[in-house]
Amino acid sequence: MPDGPPLHRERQPGDGWVECACGRRHWGLYGAAGLLLARRDADGTPTAVVLQHRAVWSDQGGTWGVPGGARMPGESAEDAALREAEEEAGIDRLSVRLRESSVLQHPDWSYTTVLADEITPVHPAVTDAESVELRWVPIDQVADLPLLPAFADAWPHLRERLVALGR
């Protein structure tokens, strides 16, 4: 398992591994967060989400998930998700509307998925070494990708929430 991001990226205060009582280690000394950005049709039905194909060197690299990463000291999950989405995918926080958050709680660590809607056109792009690819993925094709295992487990619930938020 890699020790962290490539050396050309300056280490941030939240970067580091947490040895969790669950038996795994997780990235993000203060937890982590990611942005699940949805595009909706005129009726409010989610049609696609932005996903990140993770760089091979990263933890569970080669899988697909949401842009996200370690929270900084004192940073809210929502601010962390927006910051990471901008850093990793070029997503401007002014182009999204936050809807709600879903927290995966471990004994010594947590991951917050922040659900949001596109309010002005978003064109995700690879902006750093943490991504191989970023793109809008049709809702019905998400589960067909090799997903980050925790995201794969959470996807059915997250998809239900995205649909419910459009009603």
Cα(145)–Cα(18) distance, integer angstroms: 28
pLDDT of residue 9: 61
pLDDT of residue 106: 83
Cα(50)–Cα(7) distance, integer angstroms: 27
In the predicted model, residues of the chain with pLDDT beneath 50 are 1-7
21 burial (CB, 10 Å; 0-12 / 13-18 / 19+) is exposed
Q: 52-71 b/e with 16+ CB inside 10 Å = b?
A: bbbbeebbbeebbbbbbbbb
Cα(4)–Cα(1) distance, integer angstroms: 9
Six-digit token string for 49: 């989400």
pLDDT of residue 58: 79
pLDDT of residue 30: 87
DSSP for 100-152, please give it: EEEEEE-SS-EEEEEEEEESS-------STTEEEEEEEEGGGGGGS-B-HHHH
What does the pLDDT look like over 41-69, one tens digit per residue? 999 999 999 999 988 887 787 899 999 98
pTM to 2 decimal places: 0.88
pLDDT of residue 57: 80
Which domains does the chain show, CATH number per domain? 17-165 (3.90.79.10)
pLDDT of residue 92: 96
The residues with which 18 forms a beta bridge, in sequence order, are 26
The residues with which 117 forms a beta bridge, in sequence order, are 38, 97
